[in-house]
Amino acid sequence: MAEKAVTPWVAGTLPCGLRWVHQETAAPTGHIGLIVRAGTRDEGPDEPGLAHFIEHLLFKGTVRRKPFHLLSKIEDAGGELNAYTGKEDTTVYASFLAENYPAALDVLLDIAFRSVFPEKELKKEQEVIADEIDAYLDAPSELIFDDFEELLFAGHALGHNILGTKESLQTFTREQVLRFVRTHYVPANMVLSSVGRISAARLERLLLRLTADVPESLHAPVPHRSPAPSYAPVQKTGRDTHQCHVVLGSRAVSVHDAALTTGVLLNNVLGGPAMSSRLNLNIRERYGIAYQIESFFTPYSDTGLQGVYVGTDSDAVDRAVRLIHKELRQLREVPLGVVQLAKAKQQLLGQMALAQESPGAWMTALGRSYLLFNRMETFDELRAKVNAVTAQDVRELANRWYDPAQLTTLVYEPTVEDD
């Protein structure tokens, strides 16, 4: 994306309190997203799935538009309008030809501030999401990650499944929806992010006009309650599957922790997206006992989680877990060599640079960064942080994360026999 950039990104705040950030490019397209600091962790104890339910209802009509008109305004011009929910935020986004910036912004802001959540649509969407839950329950390689988070964040909303349950879904009322929206869908709790062929000055003029009737936020974002410490040893459960699925891991650092960059680098070395990661080379390629193996690191605003996932046959699962622990022990005990560390840094920087080549992904990254930090680091700043990581930093964090006494392990064991 660097060669297509016309200007550095520009940011500002509208009178209503909505922050915006924009990167102008020469591409013929535009990408905008409204990132809302409202996700699964903002749900009450008896409300798992409410944030995701509201994300669906945002498209069910506004004061000015019926559902069909919301979608057709973007899609009839060849664009895309969609949304997704995370543990800490919800994103509504649109991609379109740059000439349609005014219309796309109008629709997105209409959804954010003027949705009406009609009572008759609640029941319909409850049925749609119930089907989504059924499909999700049929995918053990996805379900196990949520069950693992439920173990790590026991008793806290971060442990909620984003989709919720069929039981919780049926209890949601319009008043609950409106209360959640009134609390969280306020300008000060949002960032409008944009990447595309429009000047920042014109974008700001459009935003000022389209939000002229949006009242100023009168309260700060609701503070999050941090999860209490939680630890569970090995947990095994039977599933209707032919393979074993295993996740092992622990709590990790937050996005504000000084060790964040070290964590990203460490995870990349262990089992990141590259085929040359240790888990892929030393377990999948060398022994051929894992059809899928990877590590993950998810930092949240005040905590995080990290771990390893492996899917393998029942007769190989014990060996696979032993080999994973061998790799974790290696990282705890043996510092990365000079060449290894330099290669790991170069690989990570390359991945970061490539990620910025996708305008849609870059739009989301800009928005989330401003939502969390009210700024975005330049690539040179990121490079400096990566290059500052030492082999000792990596080893110390590996000893914190990969201590066997602190790891939680969840195993899905098959309950059906192969044909």
Which amino acid is residue 382, in one-letter code?
A: L
Entry pTM: 0.91
2-210: what CATH class?
Answer: alpha beta
pLDDT per residue of the chain (419 residues) written in tens, 0 to 9 = 444 566 689 999 999 999 999 999 999 999 999 999 999 999 998 899 999 999 999 999 999 999 888 888 888 888 999 999 999 999 999 999 999 999 999 999 999 999 999 999 999 999 999 999 999 888 888 899 999 999 999 889 999 999 999 999 999 999 999 999 999 999 999 999 999 999 999 999 999 999 999 988 766 677 777 887 766 777 777 777 788 999 999 999 999 999 999 999 999 999 988 788 999 998 988 888 888 999 999 999 999 999 999 999 999 999 999 999 999 999 999 999 999 999 999 999 999 998 888 999 999 999 999 999 999 999 999 999 999 999 999 999 999 999 999 999 999 998 865 44
Which tens digit of pLDDT belongs to each residue from 106-146?
999 999 999 999 999 999 999 999 999 999 888 888 899 99
Domain-by-domain residue ranges, the chain? 2-210, 234-414
Structure tokens that stand for 233 in this block: 């040893």
- d(CA 65, CA 77) in angstroms, rounded, equals 17
State the fold for domain 234-414: Cytochrome Bc1 Complex; Chain A, domain 1 (3.30.830)
Same fold, 2-210 and 234-414: yes
